[in-house]
Amino acid sequence: MTKLGIQISSVKAYLQTPEDVLASFRKVSEIGYKAIQIQWINPEVPMEFIHAALQETNLECIGTQDYYDVVIAHLEEVIDMNDLWGGTYITVSGLPERYQSYEGCLEYAKELNKLSEYLETRGKILNFHPRLMDVFQYGAKNSLEIIFENTRREFQLLLDIYHIIHAGLDPVEWINKVKGRNDLIHFKDGYEEPKGNHVLMPVGQGSTHWKPIFEATIKTGVKYAFAEQETFQSETFQCLKDSYDYLVANDFK
């Protein structure tokens, strides 16, 4: 069964003080979310406080996410955070500019392999979260294909459905392509205005055709699906509840 969680970066504005972190954790727990992926909490909030807040609100931290270069620069601290919070998955996002070529993608894959191997010795699993701006076409292959095909089996991809769609890729095809290497997935919805502006909405209220995506997610054995929404057209936590209610109605628990 695919468990339902929240990418807490959705409420970045409410993660700036210890009091706000606890209040936000409590609110998402009261909505019904049981699992959490941690990103964008103010680094001044002590990791021990975050640990206590997780325990108080009965939220399961499955791991963390940050930009690749940030994780590399603070790797031991990131591992320590996950050890304390109970997280297994360390997710990196972004294809740094120095890797934005065919040969660069191959080099990035090598670096991701080395990082994945090291994290495995520390009891962690490495994920890569591609964004729409990380997908480039190099001849017959795009950057995501090059990275996926040249990384070890233990290395995983965390697909963000909104980014995959807006990068021009088929989300169902990609969910099936990475089967067995996709324990985590992000469900983010929205639409693109005629002028090209991206407007994010609660899951189920945008232009995404979710049914085949949900079916592929469950069929391929994805372990955790995280609702995510960084900008809001109405009250933040009500939007997160709308996403939760929609996902529960579609058999995510």
- ∠160-242-59 over CA atoms, to 5°? 70
pLDDT at 57 over 90: yes
Share of the chain above pLDDT 90, in %: 94
DSSP 175: H
Instruction: Of 54-63, 64-73, 130-139, 193-202, give the lowest mean pLDDT range.
Output: 193-202
Q: Is 15 a residue whose pLDDT tops 90?
A: yes
Nearest to 229 by CA among 216, 247, 217, 252: 247
Task: Tell me the C-alpha to C-alpha distance, in Å, between residue 181 and each of 40, 102, 177, 214.
Answer: 25, 22, 9, 17
Tokens, residue 22: 């606890």
- pLDDT tens across 107-131, in order? 999 999 999 999 999 999 999 999 9
Helix (H) or strand (E) segment spanning residue 189: strand 189-192
Q: What is the pLDDT of residues 133-188, one digit of tens each?
A: 999 999 999 999 999 999 999 999 999 999 999 999 999 999 999 999 999 999 99
Residue 69 CB partners (closer than 8 Å, separation 6+): 94, 96
What residues contact 235, with CB distance under 8 A and at least 6 apart?
none
Cα–Cα distance measured from residue 248 to residue 44, given in angstroms and rounded to the nearest whole number: 34
Q: What is the pLDDT of residue 30?
A: 98
Note the pLDDT tens digit of each residue in 79-112.
999 999 999 999 999 999 999 999 999 999 999 9
Q: What is the CA radius of gyration of the chain?
A: 17
Q: To the nearest 10°, report the CA torsion of 207, 231, 182, 93.
A: 130
- H or E stretch at 245: helix 236-249
Q: Given this model, what pLDDT does residue 192 score?
A: 82
- The CA distance from 109 to 58, in Å, is 36
Q: Provide the whole-model pTM.
A: 0.96
Homologous superfamily, domain 3-249: Divalent-metal-dependent TIM barrel enzymes (3.20.20.150)
Contacts of 219 (CB under 8 A, 6+ apart): none
- Indicate the pairing of strand 60-67 with strand 35-38: parallel
pLDDT at residue 198, as a whole number: 83
What was the pLDDT predicted at 248? 97
Structure tokens at 54: 């997780």
Nearest alpha carbon to residue 88 among 15, 160, 184: 184
Task: Say if CB 102 and CB 138 are below 8 A apart.
Answer: yes
- SS3 of 201-231: ECCCCCCCCCHHHHHHHHHCCCCEEEECCCC
